[in-house]
Structure 1
């Protein structure tokens, strides 16, 4: 594995490069750390060039001077330029959660850098029938965390709600410390933009890049806490005119149990490369 930094789009991005073969880029959602993908990246490095990175201002990617806000467009430009600088275009990109929005913006703005796109459980508001309830629950959780322990506790509670306690408990201490250290960026810069990004059906229909939409099998159950994510994935699959593919586990099963997730994902990456 090679660890390095690349200067792209006015930011310095930490990235990790593994393996050789067709390029696959994994984009992290909330907390933005390449460490989300360690197990998956190791599994795919046997036949792919795998790129993971800390998004701008997160973890080992330093916060740019005077950077106080962001957009999905800026994040998409970062990803596109990273692939270009590394001379790995066109690549397959996998975006999960908020990063499914980054991937949608990447498809719309820079289709030439991609040969395929995999969207995992996007939080697009138009796809969620209970979006007001979801937003209110998230706001309450963050507010309680801020009141009881400040940004780090609020971020921990948010991550536990997204990952599940099992996945959160599986994090090694170094990764957990980095994620909690991203609290100010997550809560002060990113979260509002990521959870309101909502590409229109017309924009989605304009995407012509080969594509796959995935969701955690656990979230198919209407009683599951993450069912709204499955619902959003169904909505996206409909507007991208592609079947919905189930992957093992819940929203972030790639952290808690990466091997089954990688095994189920591999045929779809292979199909796009």
Structure 2
């Protein structure tokens, strides 16, 4: 399996998405302005109209533009905040150092309230849940709780995605196979499929069990990142990432 730092491949769609967003942020297409017509914009970007149309749909889903049939596309006045919308595994966002992942749990079980809500699962659905402890230079830095969509949904996206999740769930570092987060495994397997993520940040405390695993007091303050990853509006992964006070900084990668 590829290293999580190189797992994400920049596909032509991702590059086109980022080129258009960069043009919005540098004032070429300022907020509130109309984008050129599809034929004109496709020619300007040097891409086909079908490829452009697919990226415009993603931009609309992310709240960057508004499209109206027969009218065209307009850049929204209030753009989504910069930051975690560039989808990367949390281990790739942690500050530089020797980063390792240790799997604490990997279960294929019934959906929880959290995973059922965010992944649109029924109460009888079964899905993969992973608990992973991420360490930087041997020091616990982040808890990752991740849930995958049902196997049928992952297979519909790409059979390699379902296979990668099942395979990585049983990764054995003693054999030389690296342990990675579920998001890293999914991004490595997704290939040309464009995945998008939406994140929220909150505050909490570690609690007794997580504090014990991190050798920290239960009342240690922590940042909680909740993230939902989707493929064409279909959620395929939901996660909670918990970073205690004093953990290495996250390297927030902005749109460009």
For normalisation by structure 2, the TM-score amounts to 0.27
TM-score normalised per structure 1: 0.26
Larger Rg: 2
